[in-house]
Structure 1
Amino acid sequence: MARATLDETTSNSPLEAAIESRWFLNLITGLIILNAAILGILTYADSLPPTSVYWLEVMDRGITYAFAFEILLKLFVYRFMFFRSGWNWFDFIVVGISMVPGGQGFSVLRAMRVLRVLRLLHVVPMMRRITEALLKALPGMGAIVAVLALLTYVYAVMATNMYGDTSNEEVLELFGDLPSSAYSLFQVMTMDGWRFEVVQKVVDDGHPWAPLFFLTFIFVASFAVLNLFIALIVDALAAEQKAATEELLEDIEEDAEHAEEERDEIFDLLRSLKDEIAELKSVVSQQSQQR
């Protein structure tokens, strides 16, 4: 059997062509979606008939074996090249966790079966493109997280000094020490009940200007820094889309060049046929004159 490659556009064996074909990809996608539905239904196992739960678990195990068979097929075709792809590592680990003996008895391993649904992230081309764009944006996200952490630390120190020295238990719980202040500011940053659960308690404790402090934190942290995440992700998606478009244009140009070459070959063939026909006519004409 010819050596397989991870390039899905070429196939060096019938088995490689089969596992890279559209019908095989659609089959795996359908099994992932079906498995996701089964795992969701099994969360209501206590209220379902035992027979239904039994057959659902049988189907879940059957799909797990199907995924394991898929991995074995790819290992047989690609050999050690299989592990050169990060997505293949992801599939191998997720399916391997599902195949751990006795995993059904551990709630953590049982819950991690749902990770198989995440295989849709690379099986579906559009999801794969978005996921790869997010992964490429991670280094930039790290810098933004560092800025946000530094900003939160500064405000947490200020909040602890301004509001932590109090006898009010509620405010003391919010800003009594540095970790508590950082956690409270994170809640303020998400704007989840920040007005009544955080700011109003500080105001009632004798700090009427406290809203200004928290509003500046919201404007800087939420409206400025957090929006950088959105800008970074949008930029990464745009770059990924541009790369995909350029790749598509290159494929179109290559197809056009091949078509032009084939057209030239056809024209050359027609010219040669025309010359041969003319030569044949000349020979026939000479023979007829000789007669």
Structure 2
Amino acid sequence: MEVSETIGPSRRRAMEIIENSLFKNAITTLIVLNAITLGLETVETLPPLLHLGIKFFDIFVVGVFVIELLLKLYAHRLDFFRSGWNIFDFFVVGVSILPGSGPFQVMRSLRVLRVLRLLHVVPMMKRIVEALFKALPGMGAIIAVLAVLIYASAVMATSLYGRTDDPDVHALFHDLPASAFTLFQVMTMDGWRNEVVQKVMDDGHPYAWIFFLSFIFLASFAVLNLFIALIVEALQAEQDERTEEAIEQIEDEIEDTEEKMLKKGDEILGVIAELKAEIAELKASQDR
């Protein structure tokens, strides 16, 4: 690395440690084990001795994470904060070392955020999360389309079904916010038939199913599937980008190998030329 040529030996050593595969695997293992112990800590029926062991293990894990963070800070200095993942690690470790009582008692529940470190420690998870972040701008446009669809449908539903004497239907569609919330429930298909559509049909709207099925088709099957398509496209773009980087790296290695082979070929030709010259000299000396 070019940066390693401009730093001192101690910082270079710190960088080698944090980039070492064994060190990374050890951190990953600790994150997984800590996730298990955080879950076990919620089981009240565990023996007190086991709870004590979990507490000491938690302190050990936090200590290792602090050492890792200090090594990264020492190796990268202010460049450490250029990475969003590093800032997230800094926040998680900072929350872990805060006391779990008094005004900081709510911070104790945030310890579970340590598990989320797996999202960037494991390469495959990191790729998926980065692809999701890249898809956020497109998601905003889809959310806007979905909001417009729900708003227009809520206005229609309030006008069609809000003026009724049935208390159940009135509670569902008596105003615009209530209609929008009901349609959101229909979009998620959570009890949409018995809790919404059937009540509206029993209230004297036998063809209400046409309205709700049309809404489900547009909102659930069409618009929501756009989210899936967008995420898949982002993942594919991420994979294509990594493939291009791998191809460029291979091409650079091939070029370096070719240059080395050409240099070695020139050296071999030089040796052959020297041997021929020596042979010619030997022949000349024999002729004398």
TM range (shorter): over 0.9
Q: Which residue of 1 aligns with 2:173?
A: 175
Matched residues in 2 for 1:288 and 1:60: separation? 86
Picking from 229, 253, 256, the partner of 1:255 is: 253
Q: Which residue of 1 aligns with 2:270?
A: 272
Q: Which amino acid aligns with 1:184?
A: T
Q: Which residue of 1 aligns with 2:233?
A: 235
* 1:133-160 residue CA offsets vs partner (Å, 9 max, x unmatched): 1110000000000110111011111112
Residues 4 and 77, structure 1, Cα contact 8 Å, conserved in 2? no
Secondary structure, counterpart of 1:43 in structure 2: coil
Matched residues in 2 for 1:254 and 1:3: separation? 20
Picking from 44, 59, 62, the partner of 1:61 is: 59
Matched residues in 1 for 2:13 and 2:287: separation? 60
103 and 224 in structure 1: CA distance in 2 versus 1, 3 angstrom threshold: farther
Q: Which residue of 2 aligns with 1:37?
A: 36
Superposition deviation, residue 284 in structure 1: 3.3
Picking from 125, 133, 158, the partner of 2:156 is: 158
Secondary structure, counterpart of 1:14 in structure 2: helix
Matched residues in 1 for 2:106 and 2:194: separation? 37
Q: Which residue of 2 aligns with 1:15?
A: 14
Matched residues in 1 for 2:191 and 2:243: separation? 44
Superposition deviation, residue 128 in structure 1: 1.0
Secondary structure, counterpart of 1:40 in structure 2: helix
Matched residues in 1 for 2:4 and 2:204: separation? 73
Q: Which residue of 1 aligns with 2:218?
A: 220
Q: 5+ unaligned residues in a row in structure 2: which ranges?
A: none
Q: Which residue of 2 aligns with 1:125?
A: 123
Matched residues in 2 for 1:112 and 1:12: separation? 32
Secondary structure, counterpart of 2:99 in structure 1: coil
Q: Which residue of 1 aligns with 2:76?
A: 78
Matched residues in 2 for 1:155 and 1:100: separation? 48
Q: 5+ unaligned residues in a row in structure 1: which ranges?
A: 6-10
Secondary structure, counterpart of 1:13 in structure 2: helix
Picking from 187, 190, 205, the partner of 2:188 is: 190
* 1:107-152 residue CA offsets vs partner (Å, 9 max, x unmatched): 6322211111111111111111111111100000000001101110
Matched residues in 2 for 1:43 and 1:252: separation? 50
Normalised by the length of structure 2, the TM-score is: 0.92
Greater mean deviation of Cα atoms: 277-286 or 48-57: 277-286
* 1:32-71 residue CA offsets vs partner (Å, 9 max, x unmatched): 1111111111121x11111111111211121112111111
Q: Which residue of 1 aligns with 2:135?
A: 137
RMSD, aligned α-carbons: 2.0
* 1:146-183 residue CA offsets vs partner (Å, 9 max, x unmatched): 11011101111111222222232222221122222111
Matched residues in 1 for 2:39 and 2:102: separation? 16
Q: Which amino acid aligns with 2:281?
A: V
Normalised by the length of structure 1, the TM-score is: 0.91
Greater mean deviation of Cα atoms: 58-67 or 225-234: 58-67
Structure 1 outlier segments of 4+, above 6 Å: none
Secondary structure, counterpart of 2:128 in structure 1: helix
105 and 61 in structure 1: CA distance in 2 versus 1, 3 angstrom threshold: farther
Asked if 1:87 corresponds to 2:85, the answer is yes
Superposition deviation, residue 15 in structure 1: 2.1
Residues 100 and 106, structure 2, Cα contact 8 Å, conserved in 1? no
Superposition deviation, residue 106 in structure 1: 5.5
> Paired residues, what number?
283
